[in-house]
Structure formats: C-alpha cells, structure tokens
Amino acid sequence: MTKTAAIIGGGVIGGGWAARFLLMGWTVNVFDPDPEAPRKIGEVLDNARRSLPGLTDRAMPAEGQLNFVETISAAVTGADWIQESVSERLELKQKVFQTIQEHCPADAVIGSSTSGFKPSELQGCATRPEQIMVCHPFNPVYLMPLVEVVTTDKNSSDLTDKAKAIVAEIGMYPLHIKKEIDAHIADRFLEAVWREALWLVKDGIATTEEIDNAIRYGFGIRWAQMGLFETYRVAGGEAGMKHFMAQFGPALKWPWTKLMDVPDFTDELVDLIADQSDAQSGAHSIRELERIRDNNLVAMMRALKAQDWGAGALLNQWDGTPSAPDLSGAVKTVSRAVPLDWTDYNGHMNEARYLQAFGDATDRFMEIVGCDAEYIATGGSYFTAETHIRHIDEVHAGTRIHIETLCLEGAGKKMHLFHSMFDGERLLATGEHMLIHVSLETRRASEPSAAIATKLAAIAAIHADLPRPDGVGKAVGVKG
C-alpha cells in the first residue's frame, strides 16, 4: 500500500524532502502558497532524479505521485508523515501545527525541519504535543543521509520508533537526540566553524576561497569518513585518544579561537564576504553549483560505499539483500540506475562501466548457482576467460537499466553466459562471457562442487529451450 507524505513549505529543504519521499515511491502532497513552488520543486526533482538513484546498486521503487494542493488540510488528510519546512518563526510554526493537527491522523509523524527551535518550543499550544518532533535534515535532503530526530518526554516511544523506522526506510540515518538543545548537534559544529570563518575574513587573515580550501583539502575529507573523535583517535598514534588529549589539550587555553565572540554583521562585512564569494563561485549559476555538488557527493559516498565505511556503510545496508530470482526464463541479475560517476566526457556511460555492469551480473549469477562468498572461501571460484561486449545504444546518467542473463552452457568446468542490458525494452548492450571454474589454491581449472554443478545444469537446461538472442557467438565485425 502506498504511503503518503505531506510537505508543508516547498523551499530548498521542503523541496528536498518532497524529492526524497517521491523517489522512494511515496505519494507526496505539497502545500506552498508560492505560485513558483511547482517550478522550483520541479527543478529540485530534476537534480534528484539524476543523482539519488545512482547511490544504490539495486533497483529503486517506482516513483510516487506528486500533488500540489491549495490547503494544509488537503495536504495532511490521511498522511503518514508530515514535514513542516516553513520559515524559522516560532509563532508561524505553532500556527501551522495547530492547523495540521485539526486535519491529520493522530498517529501521523509530524516532523519539523527547524535548525534552531527545540521540540518543546514547537509543542507549545499544540493539541497533541506528543505528535510533534524535530526531524532536521541537511541539504540536499535527497542525497544527505543525516536526520536529527529530537524528542521530548511528551513524545511516545511508539511514535518515535515509527519516525526512526520511516527515516531509515527512505535511505536516511535517524540520529536520535534524546536531550534537546539549541541548534541540536550538527549545526552547533557548523556554527562554531562559521564564527571562526567570519572573524578570519573580517580580520583580513583569509578570503572565503582560502577558508573553503582549508576545509575541502584538509580536515573536511577526514571528517567525511571518520568524524571528529575517531579522526583524533588516529592522530594520537598507537597511544590513542589519551595521548592526543594530553598533547593537544593545553592548546584549548591558548588564544586560538573567538568562539564566543561574534563579529557584527555590518554592511561592510556583508559586502566583503559577498564580493569574495561572487569572485570565488560567481562563474556558475546556483543550479550549476547544485549539480556540481551532487556529482561530488555521489562520487564520494560511492567511494565510501566500496569501503563499507561511514555513509557508504549506510548505503550498503539500504541496498539490502537481493530477492530470490525467477529462474523460469532469462534471469534478471542487475536492476539499477546509472550513477553520475559512470559517465564520461561524451556524456554517456564509460565503456569500462559496461564491463562493470556485466561483471556485476556475472557475480549475481554466480551467487544464484551457489558460488557465493561462503563457497569462494572454501577455495573454489569462476574466472573469466573471454569477454565480448557489443555497444548498441547510448546510456546516460540516471538511466534505469536492467540486465537479463542467459546460461548458454553450464557443464563441467565451463559457465557460458550471455547478458543483455536494457532500458525498459530498449536494448543497450550485450556481453558474452566464458568462465572457467578454478581452484584458488592451485590457480588451475577444476570441477565445481556437486551442488553448483547440479544447479548450473538445471538452469542451462531451462535456458536451452529459450530463443537465442541476436549476437550470440558474434565476432567483431569489420566492414570493408
């Protein structure tokens, strides 16, 4: 059954929430009085469609239905999740919550995107304060996984658990903050760095670009994978965190920071920062910068995914275990979107990625017949002896591809596979692969286990009755 999310306020954050839920298969109702809201959210959706599916190596659900409605009541009626993302004015948020609760189900999660207000402040004057909690995301919501879920004693454990489960269901990470504090956790770090950066610019120590370079070429890369404390634990060497704190702890009393002293936002300071920012990034429009940011975020998170670390480990959990395949015909071995980092200077999928996609299909087929990680650990596996790939049509970033695999031969030491890559019914490429079973100890050809041989022979027998696709056994053609 399709679930419904109501988005109240369709700005940068609200639009990101709408994109995240929509691409996860939810029905999304958006209320925003701005007549430009459909255009703005449409542009956010365009960015999300080209980037979010590339984070996962599994097929995403079919996109949900997007509705722009004229009233809050129409948005929240029957909603499972309600996300408030209106302006940061407490009286406005409280008024919105009162209207929401007049029309929404009593068991719906009501989350606020606020970065500043505590949940106890939001719950004031509410009909059902236990229903309202902070669910603070990070921009872009459709890519960044963190959601700070901040609750009070009035929030029931059942509804809190429901909120955390839904956040995880849509591929995000619920950081449950059980003791409320101004600006929650993550924004307090950002505010500290922001204060220091303002002073460095105001005092003429560094420009906006130099400060950004200090972050992106330095500690920012470490923070992305290890956070703060684990980074410093490593910095302590073999002696660990205690050594680090003993060595650098005294520096906390040195005049390194103006943390509690904020420069006045004078016109001169605002102009100085704005002018430097224009010089640094003004060559790109905001939409271009968003796409550059999204490209980089996807590439970095996919790198962490390959290492099963940080945000990448979360993505691997999200991908989950593939469902049991239908073996009555060609086996669907891959179903996924093409990620941004698979494309080349021509704007289409790099030829090496075709081999990767077909290699993933082969790996999946090996798992199906029993040649999985557990079996390989016992000393047997299949090695590819020969590969022939035909590039038939272009593939671009975001294209939802699937690969169907036929077993042309599965007897003795041989496994002969033919993969066909599709976008819907459009054939994109084929890959023909001959694999030989080997002993990992001797690195020579060997017979597979009886279980694998039996399963492989059974699939090959089924596939022998299927029509042979065009291109089987085809050599490279040279036209005179």
The residue among 66 and 217 whose pLDDT is bigger is 66
The residue among 262 and 255 whose pLDDT is bigger is 262
Identify the pLDDT of residue 230: 83
Identify the pLDDT of residue 259: 62
Q: Per-residue pLDDT averaged across 437-451, rounded? A: 96
Residue 480 has pLDDT above 60, yes or no: no
The pLDDT confidence band at residue 378, using thresholds 50, 70 and 90, is very high
**Contact indicator for 338, 421 with CB cutoff of 8 Å:** no
Identify the pLDDT of residue 254: 63
| Contact residues for 339 (Cβ-Cβ < 8 A; gap 6+) | 53, 54, 55, 298, 302, 397
Q: Give the Cα separation of 427 and 280 in Å (integer).
A: 44
351 membership: H or E segment, kind and range = helix 351-369
Least confident piece of the model among 80-94, 155-169, 212-226, 363-377: 212-226
Strands 444-445 and 66-69: unpaired
| Contact residues for 437 (Cβ-Cβ < 8 A; gap 6+) | 380, 381, 382, 413, 414, 415, 445, 446, 447, 448, 452
C-beta atoms surrounding 233 within 10 Å: 16
Identify the pLDDT of residue 448: 96
The pLDDT confidence band at residue 283, using thresholds 50, 70 and 90, is confident
* Structure tokens that stand for 307 in this block: 């290492």
Q: How many residues does the chain have?
A: 480
Identify the pLDDT of residue 149: 98
Identify the pLDDT of residue 228: 82
Taking only the tens place, the pLDDT of each residue in 404-425 is 999 999 999 999 999 999 999 9
How much of the chain exceeds pLDDT 90, in percent? 65
**Contact indicator for 343, 298 with CB cutoff of 8 Å:** no
Q: Which domains does the chain have, with CATH numbers?
A: 4-183 (3.40.50.720), 187-283 (1.10.1040.10), 331-464 (3.10.129.10)
Average pLDDT, the chain: 91
Q: Give the Cα separation of 433 and 471 in Å (integer).
A: 12
Residue 478 has pLDDT above 70, yes or no: no
How open is the CA angle 175-176-180, to the nearest 5 degrees?
A: 120
3-state secondary structure 268-334: HHHHHHHHHHHHHHCCCCHHHHHHHHHHHHHHHHHHHHHHCCCHHHHHHHHHCCCCCCCCCCCEEEE
Least confident piece of the model among 291-305, 429-443, 450-464: 291-305
How much of the chain exceeds pLDDT 70, in percent? 97
Residue 100 has pLDDT above 90, yes or no: yes
> What is the sign of the dihedral through the CA atoms of 181, 185, 189 and 191?
negative
**Contact indicator for 361, 333 with CB cutoff of 8 Å:** yes
Q: Per-residue pLDDT averaged across 6-28, rounded? A: 97
Q: Per-residue pLDDT averaged across 87-93, rounded? A: 95
**Contact indicator for 121, 90 with CB cutoff of 8 Å:** yes
Residue 3 has pLDDT above 90, yes or no: yes
Least confident piece of the model among 158-162, 279-283, 324-328, 376-380: 279-283
Taking only the tens place, the pLDDT of each residue in 110-150 is 999 999 899 999 999 899 999 999 999 999 999 999 999 99
